Amino acid sequence: MKSYLISTVLCVAGVSACAADSVTDAMQAAYAPYRVALFRTNSNAQAESQQAIAQAQQSWTKLTEQYSGRPPAPYDRDQAFATSLSEVSKVYAQAAREVAANQLSAAHETLEKARDIMAEMRRRNAVVIFSDHMNAYHSEMENVLINGPKILSQPGGMQKLTAMVGALGYLAHRLITEAPANYTTNEEFGEMVKAVNKSVSNLQDALFLQDMEAVKAALSKVKMPYSKFFLKFG
């Protein structure tokens, strides 16, 4: 408990190496192959998706075997901890079956559930990491991309979408301000986070000009910079 409290103080103080505990460290290590699996299932790559999911399952199984019985603080008081670990395993198993049947779109949607379960585990235990800021941006980005075209077709749609994209711009900026120090000194991170913010600012510029064709074009270019950024740093 003492070491956890020290880590928490360092995180609050803004020290970059603020992985609060060994479980969160292990979850982040297991998150890397998970991100690849999400990316591959969204890229019509069956063999690569199978490989990525297998690697994600292996990492998650190792984490579960090590921590499900007796997790350290802050997860030691979480009565739903073991259940959440099992839920992620079930997500991987279902996604693996869907990939084997070449149902990659379905597998991608299934895998999205694992991200939500992991995020909820951290939320319940007051653990906040950079991935949570990425998730917040992703949620609002999906809202804009899914609902934006419908909103544009409505009366006052340009103004309504401008307000929505304002929220997206705020969350995009937080990907810069909330980045850990080891990311902010990484040149690739800087280029990728700048590309994400540029895609949003381009959309805002088109909305301010009330140029419908430019807005539609800018909307189509929002997702890819985030996808590349998520794969590497999400």
CATH number of the domain that residue 152 is part of = 1.20.120
Measured CA to CA, the distance from residue 126 to residue 137 in angstroms comes to 19
Kindly state the percentage of the chain with pLDDT values over 70.
91
By the 8 A CB rule, do 176 and 197 touch?
A: yes
Is 32 within the bounds of a domain? yes
pLDDT in tens, 77-133: 999 999 999 999 999 999 999 999 999 999 999 999 999 999 999 999 999 999 999
Is 12 within the bounds of a domain? no
Verify that 144 and 225 share a domain, yes or no: yes
pLDDT in tens, 201-215: 999 999 999 999 999
- What's the total number of domains in the chain? 2
Q: What is the pLDDT of residue 222?
A: 97
Q: What is the pLDDT of residue 9?
A: 33
Identify residue 93 by its one-letter amino acid code.
Answer: A
Rg of the Cα atoms in the chain: 19
Measured CA to CA, the distance from residue 20 to residue 17 in angstroms comes to 9
Verify that 35 and 91 share a domain, yes or no: yes
Average of pLDDT values for 154-163?
A: 94
| pLDDT-derived band at 5, boundaries 50, 70, 90 | very low
Average of pLDDT values for 29-39?
A: 92
Verify that 93 and 70 share a domain, yes or no: yes
| pLDDT-derived band at 20, boundaries 50, 70, 90 | low
pLDDT in tens, 44-92: 889 999 999 999 999 999 999 999 989 999 999 999 999 999 999 999 9
Please determine, for residue 37, whether its predicted confidence score (pLDDT) is greater than 60: yes
The alpha carbon dihedral of 154, 202, 133, 8 has a sign of negative
Q: What is the DSSP letter of 75?
A: G
Residue at which a domain ends, from 124, 145, 166: 124
- What are the structure tokens assigned to 20, written together? 């609060």
Q: What is the pLDDT of residue 135?
A: 94
Q: What is the pLDDT of residue 181?
A: 92
Please determine, for residue 11, whether its predicted confidence score (pLDDT) is greater than 90: no
Is 9 within the bounds of a domain? no
Please determine, for residue 6, whether its predicted confidence score (pLDDT) is greater than 60: no
> Is omega for the bond preceding 155 within 30 degrees of 0, making it cis?
no
Exposed e or buried b per residue across 2-18, where buried means at least 16 C-beta atoms within 10 angstroms of its C-beta: eeeeebbeebeeeeeeb
- What are the structure tokens assigned to 93, written together? 């198993």
* Structural domain boundaries enclosing 87: 19-124
Residue at which a domain ends, from 74, 91, 124: 124
